[in-house]
Structure 1
Amino acid sequence: MLYKFKSKAGADVIMLAAHGDQALQALGRDPAPQGILQSADLASLIAHGEAAIAQEQQAFDRAAEEARAEDRKPPPRPEVTLRQRLWPLLELMRAAQVAGTDVVWGV
């Protein structure tokens, strides 16, 4: 399955199922084959996404600091971080917020 996030405000954002599920969970939403991010909710959804990105970075920084304190090798960074994966969707959501339109998928 693919997620295809669409809005009149910008280009479509396409994600594989696992990545789309992760993105929706970062936004505080349950993964679903169809859905809508209403324009009135976009500000809080964007804030949820940004908070999830910050939490991922803080968790990595803590793990690296603990490893250094114990004279261990720091853990490797993920190949693709949540920041990188979520960025296109957040940009679409910001554009939709400015335009006053919704973001939908699966329709």
Structure 2
Amino acid sequence: MIYKFKSKAAGDLIMLGPNGDAMLRAIGREPEPKGIIEPAAMAAAISGIERAIAEDEAARAEAEREAAAEGRTLKPAEGIGLRQRLWPMAEMLRRAQAAEQPIVWGV
């Protein structure tokens, strides 16, 4: 599945299924083919994204500390990190919230 998030306050944002699912879970929503994020819920959604990013980065830092304590080197992170994947949605949420416009997908 591909998600296409739309808002009058920002350009469209397209996410592949697994990334869109993870983002929706981070903001406290269940993945679904259609939906809306109302302006009143955007502050909580932004906080959810920031929390997910912080948890992801803390887990990586802990893994690096454990590896260093064991005298080994942790492999570099592969691919694009959660911060890079979720930043566009956080920006879209901020713009939509400022303009008091909803974000919709699947419609």
Match of 1:18 in 2: 18
**1:76: Cα distance to partner?**
2.4
Match of 2:3 in 1: 3
Match of 1:105 in 2: 105
Residue by residue over 1:14-39, the C-alpha shift from the partner in whole angstroms, topping out at 9 and shown as x without a partner, is 01111111111121211110011110
RMSD: 0.9
Equivalent residue pairs, number? 107
Query: TM-score with structure 2 length normalisation?
Result: 0.96
Deviating 4+ runs (over 3 angstroms): none
Distance 1:82 1:32 in 2: 20
**1:75: Cα distance to partner?**
3.5
* Residue 73 (1) aligns with residue 56 (2): no
What is the aligned-residue identity percentage?
A: 50
Match of 1:31 in 2: 31
Q: Secondary structure at the match of 1:79?
A: coil
Q: Which runs of 5+ in 2 are unaligned?
A: none
Match of 1:49 in 2: 49
- Asked whether the equivalents of residues 5 and 14 of structure 1 are also in contact (C-alpha less than 8 Å), the reply is yes
**1:105: Cα distance to partner?**
0.4
**1:50: Cα distance to partner?**
0.3
Q: Which runs of 5+ in 1 are unaligned?
A: none
* Aligned residue runs from structure 1 range 76-87, under 5 A: 76-87=76-87
Which of 22-31 and 86-95 deviates more? 22-31
- Asked whether the equivalents of residues 64 and 75 of structure 1 are also in contact (C-alpha less than 8 Å), the reply is no
Query: TM-score with structure 1 length normalisation?
Result: 0.96
Distance 1:79 1:105 in 2: 26
Question: Which amino acid in the other structure matches residue 26 of structure 1?
Answer: A
Distance 1:76 1:56 in 2: 15
- Asked whether the equivalents of residues 65 and 74 of structure 1 are also in contact (C-alpha less than 8 Å), the reply is no
